[in-house]
Amino acid sequence: MPPTLYLRGTQDPFVRPDLARALWRAAPAPKAARWYASGHALPGAAGDDVQAWLARHVGTAAPPALPGRAADY
pLDDT higher than threshold 90 for residue 60: no
> According to DSSP H, which parts of the chain are helical?
17-26, 44-57
Residue pLDDT, tens place only, 17-54: 999 999 999 999 999 999 999 999 999 899 889 988 98
pTM of the model: 0.73
How many CA within 13 A on the CB side of residue 38? 13
